Amino acid sequence: MPAAEVEAITPALHDVDSRLLDHLRGIGRVGLLVVVILVVGVGVVVAGTPARGVNPANREAIISRVPHQVDASTFPSITVAQDVADWNHEIAGPGAQAIALTLAENLELENQALLRGDASILTAVDHGDRLKEMQARLADAKASGKVVVAHYLFDSMNVRLIVPFGVQTGLSLGFDSRGTVTEETYDASGKLISREEKPFAQTFVTRRATGDRWLNVAVLPLKP
């Protein structure tokens, strides 16, 4: 091609290259936006997925295979705070008694998990902070060869609402309780080494975190 013609079309080629580059940059920005949207979208799906607990059928199968009976006749009269009644009027009288029974059963099932070295029992009855605490106690028991379990006899119980905390995204019920706890220590063979009774003052926190069953989510010192 003659030099004159080359010089004539060179500005046009530069203009085409510039427009093409701008177009490609635009595509790149759109592509990046699409990638960001996809990544953020996936993050929202993952973060927004509700905590999945034990399948209800599996939970009942786990619970039914170990002894956990509690004598509800030993329970004191349960006082229900007004905020609880306002939140759910069914949690009063027999309703509070039924939840307290489940809470006490969960405590006994925790004992069975420690004695049997069975972590699946913990995931069936505990959630959040309490689950982490009991899993750590189970690991310590396996490492030390000693298991300490606690049996509670309640003298007084007052149930109130507790605002969300930790991984708990909804309201929980706190049973402010006093009574006597019997702590038993067993060796690796299952032999009872010692037994000690002492008073306790604690708040047992429970919530329907993953299904129909009320799960133990924390055990806290009772505030004065």
Q: Is the pLDDT of residue 197 over 60?
A: yes
Q: Is the pLDDT of residue 160 over 80?
A: yes
Classify domain 56-221 by CATH architecture: Roll (3.10)
What is the pLDDT, as a whole number, of residue 58? 86
In contact, 181 and 200? CB cutoff 8 Å: yes
What is the pLDDT, as a whole number, of residue 143? 96
- Reported as a single tens digit per residue, the pLDDT across 14-61 is 443 444 334 434 444 434 323 322 333 333 222 223 344 566 668 888
Which phi-psi region, left, alpha or beta, contains residue 211 (left: φ > 0; alpha: ψ -120 to 50)?
Answer: left
Confidence bin at 74 (pLDDT 50/70/90): very high
What is the pLDDT, as a whole number, of residue 185? 98
- pLDDT averaged over the chain? 80
In contact, 97 and 76? CB cutoff 8 Å: no
What is the pLDDT, as a whole number, of residue 10? 42
* Distance separating alpha carbons of residues 112 and 66, to the nearest angstrom: 7
Task: Record the pTM.
Answer: 0.75
In percent, the amount of the chain with pLDDT more than 90 equals: 60
State residue 54 phi and psi, 5-degree precision.
Answer: -70, 140
What is the pLDDT, as a whole number, of residue 219? 97
